[in-house]
Structure 1
């Protein structure tokens, strides 16, 4: 007879455009999240649109603006992924 165990439930930590104070789900430490920005498909499409509109000198702007990228939150202690804020 096989024993079944309940599935582990991962708590969702609400994250935003600013670092958040929370308890790391991986190491259990009280932390302020570390943020890293990553370009998305939206970032690339904005750059392509600027290029097509003869604004090619401005093509790098979406890659320099945090508001055009996803904000990924990580634990500064163990570098565990906490969540993503999509603008």
Structure 2
């Protein structure tokens, strides 16, 4: 018995997806490929500006949770405190070198969001 065998017919190969420059506005793509991001609906965009951080809590919009906040602050000894402490240690080796670590003017101030607890930045002395 002989079987009737038909060869499968194939169409042309699928076109390659467009390159990056084609999909973002360069040369128009030659294939019928439509990028998935063309149908994504985005919410309103929020434009943020860089708020200068100072030694006091700063009124701003958190870049992480987008809430309007007054930042919470935490002071820690910074480079200035350590340099002054080293200089005092050279002059007076009796333990006075720790005094700059207790003075607010020598401290760096770290800002945090009280809502989401995200780190917002540092004010260096």
Band of TM-score, shorter chain = 0.7 to 0.9
Q: Which gives a bigger RCO, structure 1 or 2 (Cα 8 Å, sep 6+)?
A: 1
TM-score computed with the length of structure 2 as normaliser = 0.57
Where do 5+ consecutive residues of structure 1 fail to align?
Answer: none
Report the number of matched residues. Answer: 83
Aligned counterpart, 1:52: 90
TM-score, normalised with respect to structure 1: 0.79
Q: Gaps (5+ residues) in structure 2?
A: 1-18, 25-46
1:47, 1:10 → 2: CA distance? Answer: 39
State the partner residue of 2:79. Answer: 41
Larger radius of gyration: 2
Higher share of residues assigned strand: 1
| Contact 1:13 1:83 (C-alpha < 8 Å) held by counterparts | no
